[in-house]
């Protein structure tokens, strides 16, 4: 599993550059798509922003797997969250079991952002390959 935690910049141009770099061939774009990827952190980007749309062309926002209002995942500012700029993104090799926003006195004191807690599970490589229609399943040996 590849896990990258990031903190994007404040300008739109900088955030788009950071997103392109992360999804490029030297970073996440160079990883076998059958391997689990989690990209999370403070993206300083709302859902629907140019940076968010760019990231979700390749990865899936974990919040999309949750039913109901997405407002309950607002993370900033921690004392009275009104915006969702922190995200957890995954690829098809990851199964989302549950997503939570942690709002405790400690969390509010610790940061101006509330933490997100994603319960994730790596899918067996053979299942991911089967979902993609690959015939390479016979080359997989479980760990």
Residues 12-41 pLDDT 10s = 999 999 999 999 999 999 999 899 999 999
- Collect all residues with Cβ–Cβ distance below 8 Å to 141 and sequence separation of at least 6: none
Residue 77 has pLDDT above 90, yes or no: yes
pTM: 0.85
Burial 10-36 (b: 16+ CB within 10 A, else e): eeeeebbebbeebbeeeebeeeeebeb
Q: Find the mean pLDDT for residues 53-73.
A: 93
């Amino acid at each position: 599993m590849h896990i990258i935690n990031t903190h994007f910049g404040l300008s739109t141009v900088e955030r788009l550059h950071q997103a392109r770099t992360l999804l490029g061939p030297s970073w996440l774009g160079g990883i076998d798509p059958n391997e689990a990827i989690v990209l999370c952190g403070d993206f300083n980007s709302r859902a629907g922003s140019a940076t968010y749309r760019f990231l979700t062309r390749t990865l899936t926002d974990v919040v999309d797997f949750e039913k109901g209002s997405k407002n309950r995942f607002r993370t900033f500012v921690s004392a009275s969250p009104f915006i969702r700029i922190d995200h957890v993104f995954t690829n098809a090799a990851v199964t989302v079991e549950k997503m939570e926003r942690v709002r405790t006195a400690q969390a509010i004191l610790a940061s101006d952002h509330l933490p997100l807690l994603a319960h994730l599970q790596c899918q067996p490589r053979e299942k991911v390959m089967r979902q993609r229609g690959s015939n390479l399943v016979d080359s997989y040996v479980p760990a």
